[in-house]
Amino acid sequence: MDAARLIGRRFLQLALVLLLVSFFTFSLVRILPGDPMSTIIPFGTSAQRSALKHDLGLDKPFLQQYVNYVGVPGLQSKGTSGILQGDLGRKYSTRQPVTTFLKQSLPISIQLVLYAQILALVIAIPLGVLAAYRAGSRSDRAINTTSFAFLAIPNFVLALLLAYFVGARLKWFPTAGYEPGWLDPLFDPTRHFTFDHFRYMTLPVITLAVGQVAIYMRLLRSDMIATLQENFITMAKAKGISNRRILFRHALRPSSLTLLTVAGLNIGTLIGGAVVVEVIFGVPGMGEKIYQAIVAREYVELQSYVLVIAALFVTVNFIVDFLYIVLDPRIRRAGSSA
């Protein structure tokens, strides 16, 4: 199988998973026992309720509702718009479209996760290389033990620790609030970039990154140790190439493939972790919005956020698959051996 067909097949899988996820999140809201109308207008008359039900299209059959929700052209009911038309539904309470909230919160979470990912990799790669190069030594064991301990610190504990010591005691960084960064203006032109953005993001980003550092570092170490035993490394050594060049130019690339995959998969962990970190540090991203939607019982809003996050996550993994094919000549040439 060649690379193009491989990518094509992954793309089909991507579409299928997205379809199933949308059906799942859709069903969650619909199979709730009880009348959603009584949640929206608790004191409305039964006539008002049935009118509202008709307005929301909830009097239609289950599958028709799903088709309307996705917005399949030709099959959807007249006058409705769905996901494919960019309509993610409205809040029960204020009837504002969910997309307006998404535009404000999504770039914030993307930046947070991106910074955390970059910071984690920037710290983990040199540490992993060092640990592999000096495998079995005292510094290797020290790095290993420390990372094992860090793996056991929950996000929210680390967030509170940093908020207390670095924020409340030392007062180095703000522990609550947010200023727009470089991505926010693209989604919402009324917001402008300020350098304070980075000050507000520092503690949340460190919190998210620390757990990942331990994982990435251990992963790279183990792959790197295997690579360093390969013949081409011996060859490079025999040629008299410097250790640094061997480690970072010859050994790092073949050792980084699993790291790349896992970094992609870990986006999910990061997004999940971002929810609690955003709530603790008062960063108004997706996590904060999800939290508020749960408190206010805005199920349609919640459903849309879950769907958007799943879609993002699945798409990122699709891109990682693609990069994997580009980076690894063995897969590029021979197709998947799995």
Q: Which of residues 206-235 bind other proteins (CB under 8 A)?
A: 215, 218-219, 221-223, 225-226, 228-229
How far apart CA 194 and CA 197 sit, in angstroms, is: 6
17 makes contact with other proteins (CB under 8 A): yes
Q: Which stretch binds other proteins (CB under 8 A): 19-27, 48-56, 115-123, 176-184?
A: 19-27
* Candidate residues 26, 101, 115, 133; the one interacting with other proteins per rule CB under 8 A: 133
Output the smallest distance, CB 195 to other proteins, in A.
26
99 makes contact with other proteins (CB under 8 A): no
* Candidate residues 1, 4, 5, 20; the one interacting with other proteins per rule CB under 8 A: 20
Site for other proteins in 184-203 (CB under 8 A): none
317 makes contact with other proteins (CB under 8 A): yes
* Closest to other proteins by CB, 64 or 144: 144
Output the smallest distance, CB 24 to other proteins, in A.
6
HSE of 136, CA atoms in CB hemisphere, 13 A: 1
Provide the token pair at 120. Answer: 């984690």
How far, CA to CA in Å, does 31 sit from each of 26, 27, 28, 49, 299? Answer: 9, 6, 6, 18, 12
How far, CA to CA in Å, does 265 sit from each of 7, 9, 218, 268? Answer: 18, 19, 16, 6
Output the smallest distance, CB 171 to other proteins, in A.
11
326 makes contact with other proteins (CB under 8 A): no
Site for other proteins in 258-277 (CB under 8 A): 258, 261-262, 265-266, 268-269, 271-273, 275-276
Site for other proteins in 32-71 (CB under 8 A): 32-35, 39
Site for other proteins in 154-183 (CB under 8 A): 154-157, 160-161, 163-164, 168
* Closest to other proteins by CB, 67 or 159: 159
Site for other proteins in 286-315 (CB under 8 A): 290-291, 294-295, 297, 299, 302-303, 306, 309-310, 313-314
HSE of 176, CA atoms in CB hemisphere, 13 A: 7
* Closest to other proteins by CB, 119 or 306: 306
Output the smallest distance, CB 74 to other proteins, in A.
26
* Closest to other proteins by CB, 51 or 161: 161
* Closest to other proteins by CB, 68 or 155: 155
Output the smallest distance, CB 180 to other proteins, in A.
24
Output the smallest distance, CB 159 to other proteins, in A.
9
Q: How many residues bind other proteins (CB under 8 A)?
A: 85
How far apart CA 139 and CA 142 sit, in angstroms, is: 5
Buried b (16+ CB within 10 A) or exposed e, 1-13: eebeebeeebeee
